[in-house]
Amino acid sequence: MIDICDFAVGQSRLLNGYTMRSERTKHRMYDQYHPLGILGLITSFNFPVAVWAWNSMLAAIAGDVVIWKPSSKTPLSAIATQKIINSVLKNNNVPEGVFNLIIAKSSVLGDNFAEDKRIPLFSVTGSTAVGKRIGAIVGKRLGKIIQELGGNNAVIISDKADLDMAMNSTVFGAVGTAGQRCTSTRRIIVQENIYEAVKSRLISTYNKISERIGNPLDENILIGPLNDSASVQDYLHAVNEVQKEGGKILFGGKVLEGENFKSGNYVLPTLVEAETHYNIVQEETFAPILYLIKYKTIDEAIEINNNVPQGLSSAIFTLDMREAEQFLSEVGSDCGIANVNIGTSGAEIGGAFGGEKDTGGGRESGSDAWKIYMRRQTNTINYGTEISLAQGIKFDF
């Protein structure tokens, strides 16, 4: 939250338009940006503060106001955040109403929120199903929408990779935050010549880190719980389905029991040998499940990477420049984020964040993401004494 506030302060001086050369003499042409008005913001449980900050700080420097509906699973963090920003506004003599919070279930504030024509822009973080529903409602009234939806993120590990780097990054991406990031690593696509070595290292690492599951407030813990019992059921469903389709559990696949796991929401991080065509592999499961898939050629690896409905984050580990550049080219990854020698998880705020296909197509945070929070206007000024039409059109009378 603090980082994006710092970023937005700098960005506020750079809401730049372009000056274009007019084809007509004694004319000047440029574009500029004006406040859009109101941003309707819907956030999910997993990053309840960060996503609010990415959107709200850019909306604020754009001159907009924000109406925030957080996940009904995380109302307390939203209330705490709202109290913090209220005190900041008060201390700086900014009127109330710039940042607004409504705590409500979707059954109370859902379709009616998205239908409101007074809100020209919505930013929605959630499942693909939620995004499609809200997108249809907002689109019907020709409103604008930013959507950050499902991710089914893959890491390609080449036989030309630095395996130490690849292992460290992939494990963090797969099990960090118990696999509950939209950018969590869900699939690992491994060149067949190093597949067994990578599999062996992953099993060994998973054995080691599974001893550090528990209360996330303990600084020695690496993996905390899933969000709720529904998330645990999704995890178990995926474990069962992948085995029905022919997948092999290499590690995990169980819910933890005992004194330290009374909530029933702690699960073992899970490794599964799978194939890309499995139905469950095509889905996003918000849990620490990592599917291992073999490939022969870089073309095949990129095809596997792209062969899912989602398109958020992707990565390749390779020291081969040709492989790296192909992965980043127009015939490479089709995701909104494509990395080389870093994992899928942990995007910096300075880049535009978002994805393609079922991920929704919107962008938040850095680069030129600020533009969608504003209304673009093209201006032409005639400082001469004659009216001349564009494209040399004559209309004499």
Give the DSSP letter of residue 223.
Answer: B
Q: Which is catalytic among the residues 23, 96, 148, 275?
A: 148
Checking phi first, is residue 271 left (phi over 0); if not, alpha (psi -120 to 50) or beta? beta
Q: How far apart are CA 137 and CA 119, in angstroms?
A: 12
Q: How far apart are CA 81 and CA 75, in angstroms?
A: 10
> Which SS3 state, helix, strand or coil, does residue 156 take?
strand
Contact yes or no for 4/12 (Cβ under 8 A): no
Q: How far apart are CA 225 and CA 75, in angstroms?
A: 18
Q: Which is catalytic among the residues 23, 96, 115, 182?
A: 182
Listed residue (164, 153, 151, 152) closest to 317, CA to CA? 164
Token duo for residue 149: 């939806």
Q: How far apart are CA 133 and CA 287, in angstroms?
A: 24
Q: How far apart are CA 90 and CA 107, in angstroms?
A: 33
Q: What is the CA radius of gyration of the chain?
A: 24
Contact yes or no for 188/290 (Cβ under 8 A): yes
Contact yes or no for 129/337 (Cβ under 8 A): no
Q: How far apart are CA 64 and CA 38, in angstroms?
A: 6
Catalytic residue flag (residue 182): yes
Contact yes or no for 343/170 (Cβ under 8 A): yes
Q: Which contiguous run of DSSP H or E holds residue 122? A: strand 121-125
Q: How far apart are CA 206 and CA 200, in angstroms?
A: 10
Q: How far apart are CA 7 and CA 365, in angstroms?
A: 9
Token duo for residue 188: 């690992």
Q: How far apart are CA 193 and CA 182, in angstroms?
A: 30
Residues noted as catalytic: 148, 182
